[in-house]
Amino acid sequence: MKNEAEIKLKPAIYGRKSSESEDRQVLSIDAQIDTAHDIARNIGVRVPEENILVEAKSAKTTNNRPMFKEMYERIESGAINSIIVWHADRLSRNAIDSALLIDLMDRGRLHEIITPGQTYRNTPMDKFMFMLACTQAKMENDKKGIDVTRGLEKKAKLGIYPAPAPLGYLNDKYAEKGNKTIVSDEKLLPLIRKMIDLMLTGTYQPLEIRDIANNEWGFRTPKGKKLGRSTIYRMFGNTFYYGMYEYPIGSGKWYQGTHEAIMTEEEYDKIQVLLGRKGRPRPKTHVFDFTGMMRCAECGAAITAETKSKKLRDGSVNLYVYYHCTKRVNPNCTQRSVEQKELEKQVIAEINTVDIPPEFHSFAMKWWEKENEKEISSRNAVVESQQKAYKACLAKIDGFSDMRASGEIDGEEFTRRRTPLLAEKKRLEDLFATTAKRVDAWMNTGDEMFTFIDQAVAKFKNGTIHERRAILSALGSNLLVKDKMISIDIEKCLFPLTKVSGEVKAIKERLEPINTVEKQEQFEQMCANSPRVLRVRDSNPNRRHQKP
């Protein structure tokens, strides 16, 4: 091995600065080269112009830097044997490139790496320190990457798309850093909605819509360009326009955005059918009205649902919802699917079998007021009993507190005796709360019970998904589907109302028309005397009074 003084230095200057966030605080390439020339003058060497290698590339991964690769090859050939660089992290931020440089030193190809603060030569300690500097740079780079990723994922969960806004939207560059949102482009977004409307008619192709937008509407992107072929297809397949986005792409993680949505999921589905594709994978956000409430009568498996679309001759698209057995219990189950509209007809027909005249409501509420007086009497007795027990419990607790204060019992005895009393106190307080709820429930139950049938059909037809599910649930908890028919046992779930319905209608028919106060009073009296409408106590004195 030659003495260091005998080795003629053939230096190269290497400078690097990438456009990524890792290099925001790094000197410019010109400043790095100037610093390297100062070092070369101080050690008395001249660096040929062909040995000044600079590039604007990231060092996070290997095989990414042409100038670094050229420098490595020239070191292997012997044209270069030393490197002057501003900092070790300019040479490497990954383990492979760091190891390559150390290997060059081990084989005597690379004599030294010179930085403003330290010179790394072919000694165990210098090589260790060089690897340490590169490893630290890699750690800082990895940590920044993790922090950035974590921040972007948090932003995505908040409903803010952490990427460049799609066409028709803008990244709010004036918002506070860390709170930047996606805002609507007031000029372009309405035009994109018009394109969606044209597409939904089924009579226009995407390229026709593009030509209309460019030539008739004067549509231009924020960069002043016309709408491109790939752009309009990408736009029609982007779930962002109905409010959902996947981040990162391909991760399967979907989020509901806070930005303005310009179409519904159903419209998006129709467009995908018109385009002859299923669209990008996206979350199953659609909640079917009656899934989880019905089972297959043949095999006992759950009933599930799916949406199917049909393209009509005029170009429009109809969507249909079908319910069918999951066949998880018996893959050979023979039951076929049934359309949701058919199920709805069957449910409404069942509800309509229970028909209570409106005249009965007035009578029923008067009866309910009388029952309410009984409820008040019963409830007051309960409250009085609870209050008496509660006062006695408090008195015992106060007594033990006095005994502890006077020293009659020690702390251990005080705790042992007081603990069960505190538990009893808590139990009685819970009973008070339960009694209060009983008051509210009793007052709410009356009118709901007598208006259920009147409102059920209308709410089932036009109500929210929650109202529709509540009505179906009220009709039965064990709903079975067989041969495209839903089985609802009205006699069990609405037994009192079905009995009342027939009897009340019969009474009304005998008095029709009920158009005077006297006839209404007569109707109510006949209802009150009917054993089916108001069942009186039977021979068993322990049986509770039965209510309709």
Task: State whether 41 and 174 are in the same domain.
Answer: no
Contact call for residues 521 and 373 (beta carbons, < 8 A):
no
Burial class (CB in 10 A: 0-12, 13-18, 19+), 86: buried
| Residue showing tokens 């649930």 | 473
Please say whether the dihedral angle defined by the alpha carbons of residues 362, 363, 367 and 370, taken in this order, is positive or negative: positive
Task: State whether 99 and 218 are in the same domain.
Answer: no
228 assigned to some structural domain: yes
Longest dimension (CA), the chain: 129
Contact call for residues 393 and 432 (beta carbons, < 8 A):
no
Any idea what the CATH number is for the domain that residue 62 is in?
3.40.50.1390
Q: How far apart are CA 333 and CA 104, in angstroms?
A: 71
Give the end of a domain, one of 106, 128, 154.
154
Cα-flanking dihedrals φ and ψ of residue 220, to 5°? Answer: -140, 140
Q: How far apart are CA 134 and CA 132, in angstroms?
A: 5
pLDDT at 459 (0 to 100):
74
Q: How far apart are CA 153 and CA 246, in angstroms?
A: 11
**Strand-pair partners of 295:** 302, 480
75's CB contacts (< 8 A; 6+ apart) are 12, 81, 104, 109, 110
Q: How far apart are CA 492 and CA 471, in angstroms?
A: 15
Burial class (CB in 10 A: 0-12, 13-18, 19+), 290: buried
pLDDT at 395 (0 to 100):
87
**Strand-pair partners of 311:** 317
Task: At 499, list the tokens.
Answer: 């009995």
Task: State whether 132 and 217 are in the same domain.
Answer: no
Contact call for residues 240 and 246 (beta carbons, < 8 A):
no
pLDDT at 107 (0 to 100):
92
Give the end of a domain, one of 248, 274, 300.
274
| Residue showing tokens 């007086």 | 373
Any idea what the CATH number is for the domain that residue 261 is in?
3.90.1750.20
Task: State whether 28 and 126 are in the same domain.
Answer: yes
The CB density around residue 516, as the number of other CB atoms within 10 Å, is 9
Contact call for residues 33 and 15 (beta carbons, < 8 A):
yes
Task: At 271, list the tokens.
Answer: 């467009």
Instruction: Identify residue 276 by its one-letter amino acid code.
Output: G
Q: How far apart are CA 214 and CA 368, in angstroms?
A: 69
Contact call for residues 210 and 281 (beta carbons, < 8 A):
no
Q: Name the DSSP letter for residue 423.
A: H
Q: Name the DSSP letter for residue 177.
A: T
115 assigned to some structural domain: yes
Burial class (CB in 10 A: 0-12, 13-18, 19+), 519: middle
Task: State whether 49 and 87 are in the same domain.
Answer: yes
325 assigned to some structural domain: no
CA angle at residue 45 from 41 to 48, to 5 degrees? Answer: 105
Q: Which of 129, 76, 64, 152 is nearest to 107 (CA)?
A: 76
Alpha helices by DSSP H, 201-339: 206-211, 229-236, 265-274
545 assigned to some structural domain: no
- Percent helix, strand and coil across the chain, each rounded to 5? 55, 10, 35
Task: State whether 118 and 240 are in the same domain.
Answer: no
Boundaries of domain holding 215: 169-274
Burial class (CB in 10 A: 0-12, 13-18, 19+), 249: exposed
Residue 44 Ramachandran class (φ > 0 left, ψ -120 to 50 alpha, else beta): left
Contact call for residues 292 and 217 (beta carbons, < 8 A):
no
pLDDT at 463 (0 to 100):
75
Regions in the chain scoring below 50 on pLDDT: 1, 491, 493-495, 536-548
Task: State whether 54 and 83 are in the same domain.
Answer: yes
| Residue showing tokens 């029609």 | 236
What's this model's pTM, rounded to 2 decimal places? 0.40
Q: How far apart are CA 344 and CA 350, in angstroms?
A: 10
448 assigned to some structural domain: no
497's CB contacts (< 8 A; 6+ apart) are 354, 356, 452, 453, 548
pLDDT at 79 (0 to 100):
92
The CB density around residue 91, as the number of other CB atoms within 10 Å, is 25
Q: Which of 361, 358, 322, 328 is nearest to 342 (CA)?
A: 322
Q: How far apart are CA 200 and CA 212, in angstroms?
A: 15
Task: State whether 43 and 179 are in the same domain.
Answer: no
Task: State whether 37 and 141 are in the same domain.
Answer: yes
Task: State whether 10 and 150 are in the same domain.
Answer: yes
- Count of the separate structural domains present in the chain: 2
328 assigned to some structural domain: no
Q: How far apart are CA 16 and CA 279, in angstroms?
A: 43
pLDDT at 27 (0 to 100):
72
